[in-house]
Structures are given as structure tokens and as C-alpha cells.
Amino acid sequence: MSQENRDRPVELSRRNQGCAVTARWRTGSGSGGITGPDEVVIRLADDAAPEIRERGITSATLHRLGRQVDDMVAEFHELPSVGAYQVMVRRYIEGRLAELAQARGATADGFEADLLAVFEDLTGRGHADPLGALATATGRSREALDGLLDVARQRGGHEGRDWRRV
């Protein structure tokens, strides 16, 4: 932790899918190790979509925002961004799945086809472990994803539509 961070309160914030999360460290949080914030505030963003406002802050929201807190802890402690590529891929996958769901209608069938489209996109980009990246981003096991991808393939994939252009 830099001297500057030890001498004053620090507040870091992130926005993610209709929510804002703020982490605060107090003055003089003097231990030499990596410490989490003293306070974390999670709130719906003022411009959150109506469906997000209706749902509120769920356990899935907390899980997703936990990763944002991890990023802020790394930033606060000025840790090297060794995992930056994995974070970038995870965020890309989450964003693409959200875009694809919105394009087909959130209540329509097709999650498996969306997963297959993102899997094929990652494979086409030469990602070393597209299944592992999907597992990390979605919180599902490799086995569960294999099953969902098989369902999508049996149903005809993404039905000839180029989902990467959605």
C-alpha cells in the first residue's frame, strides 16, 4: 500500500449493470498485508432500468459486485494486474450474454444458444480455454456448460443467425 493510501481515507467506486458499489478504507489502515475495505456500500444506480429496480439487490447482484470489490482491493493495494486478461474476458462474456438475452427477449428460450454463440466467438478469437472462461463468468461447472452447449447444438445452434453481430 502506498504512503498516500495510508495517510488519507480512500474511496473507490464501480458501476455494473444498474448498480453502484463503493468501497472505503479509513485513514491509517496500517497493516502491511492486503486488507479489504472498512465499508462497502451497494445501491441501485439512479439510472437503473425498471426491471433492475423491481428486482432490487439480489444474491446474484452481490456475487457479481463481489468481483468489483476484488478489483477495488487490487487497485487500492496497487497490485499488478496479472489477471487483467481474465477479468477482461469475464466482463466481455457477461456483457455479451446480457446483450444476446436482450436482443432475443429476456423471457424467450435461447440461453443455451447464447452460450454457444459466445463459446464459438471465444473459440474463433483463439481463446485457450473458452469453456473455462464461460464457467468462470457464469458460475456454472464445466459439466453443466457442456450439457447446455450440447442442447444448443441439438437445437440447431443459434439457428443460422450471426449472434456476434447482434
Phi, psi of 25 (to 5 degrees): -115, 135
Report the pLDDT value the prediction gives residue 57, as an integer from 0 to 100.
93
Quick one: which of 26, 4, 17, 27 has its CA closest to 55? 17
Report the pLDDT value the prediction gives residue 72, as an integer from 0 to 100.
81
How many other C-beta atoms can be found within 10 angstroms of the C-beta atom of residue 30?
Answer: 8
Taking only the tens place, the pLDDT of each residue in 94-103 is: 888 877 777 7
pTM: 0.45
State the cell numbers at 104. 432475443
State which residues of the chain have pLDDT below 50: 1-5, 159-166
Count how many Cα atoms sit within 13 Å of the Cα of residue 12 in the half-sphere of its side chain: 17
Report the pLDDT value the prediction gives residue 149, as an integer from 0 to 100.
92
The one-letter amino acid code at 73 reads V
The rounded distance, in Å, linking the Cα atoms of 89 and 9 is: 32
